[in-house]
A = this chain, B = another copy of it.
Amino acid sequence: MSIREIQDLGLTRQREVVLRVIRDAEEHLTANEVFDNAKRLLPGISFATVYNSLRFLKEAGHIAEIRFGNGASLYDRKLARHDHAICTKCGVLVDIEMEHPAELVELAARYSNFKPESLDFTLRGICPDCNK
């Protein structure tokens, strides 16, 4: 994940920085956190530009937006399609990387009559830490 790799996407400097911040983050970030981190790399960047860039990168498929019950959207580098688990006790959000059972999308499409594009799920439960 070199700078070069990001630059080759033909992004503006601001969008590069936003993408970099998200890719370098250990956790999922809010727009506000992205802004704070981006400002360190590119002090002049504005809040509106962060939002614009997040929208742009989302539409271009480089990142994903996730939303839950409370508060702000979280942004997720999008290395590959994946699902999420959220702890009902402490609220931590983690990624799940697994294949879906073969018939899942097919079933969902059949029941809804939608032409399916993607499917993602959220598991709610107790995280390993809270479960001790």
Contact = CB atoms under 8 A, between A and B. Distances in A.
A105 B116 CA distance: 21
Name the interface size band of chain A. 35 or more
Given A96-B108, A98-B111, A112-B94, A120 B122 contact: yes
A109 B122 contact: no
Given A68-B67, A85-B112, A98-B107, A122 B119 contact: yes
A72 to B, nearest CB: 11
A64 to B, nearest CB: 10
B123 A108 contact: yes
Nearest to A105: B123
Interface string A101-121: 101110111011111111111
